[in-house]
Amino acid sequence: MKIRVGFGFDVHKLVTGRELWLGGIRLEHEMGLLGHSDADVLIHAICDALLGAANMRDIGYHFPDNSADFKNIDSKILLAKTVKLIAGKGYRVGNVDATVCAERPKLKKFIPEMQEVLARVMEVDVDDVSIKATTTEKLGFTGREEGISAYATVLIEKD
C-alpha cells in the first residue's frame, strides 16, 4: 500500500451580508465569509490538502475563482469533485486532521455535525475526520474577527 500526506490552508474575510458556511454546514452568525464560492475555509483547506497529497496542484487550479461554473457553489460539491480527482490517480482518503481558527462563533458544539457531513462527502468513517477549533487569543486578523482560517492535513492511500 502506498500512502501520501498533504497539507492545506485557506483564509477568507468576514463580511456582512453573507451566510457563514464551515465544514459543510450553515452557522447562524452576523457575518459570513467572502469568496467566489460559499467560501467554506475548512472544506477549501481539505481540498488543497487532498490535491497536494496526490500532487495535483491546488483548489484554484481545478476550480478557478474567475469561472462562472463555481460562482456561489456549495463547497461540498468541490470536495466531492476533489475526492473523484484523486480517485482518478488511484487514491482514496485515509484520514483528515483539520483546525479552524475563529474567535466567533464558538464551534465546539458544531464539530460533530461537520464531521458527519464531511465523512459522508468523502465516503469515509466519521472517526477518520478530526476537526479542532481554536482562537488566536484576539491576535492578528482572526483575533480582530476580520476573517477565519483553516488548516488541514490528510493521508491518502493507494493499494
Q: Is 75 annotated as a binding residue?
A: no
Separation between Cα atoms, residue 117 and residue 114, nearest integer Å? 5
pTM score over 0.85: yes
E-assigned strand segments in the chain: 2-15, 20-22, 25-27, 32-33, 92-101, 129-134, 147-158
Question: Tens of pLDDT along 108-159?
Answer: 999 999 999 999 999 999 999 999 999 999 999 999 999 999 999 999 999 8
CATH of the domain at 106: 3.30.1330.50
Q: Is 26 annotated as a binding residue?
A: no
Question: Tens of pLDDT along 24-65?
Answer: 999 999 999 999 999 999 999 999 999 999 999 999 999 998
Q: Is 60 annotated as a binding residue?
A: yes
How many domains are there within the chain?
1
Q: Which of 53, 50, 20 is nearest to 38 (CA)?
A: 20
Is residue 31 within 8 Å of 15, Cβ to Cβ? yes
Range of the domain at 132: 2-158
Cell of 77: 460539491
Q: Is 120 annotated as a binding residue?
A: no
Q: Which amino acid is at 104?
A: R
Q: 2, exposed or middle or buried, with CB in 10 Å at 0-12, 13-18, 19+? A: exposed
Q: Is 12 annotated as a binding residue?
A: yes
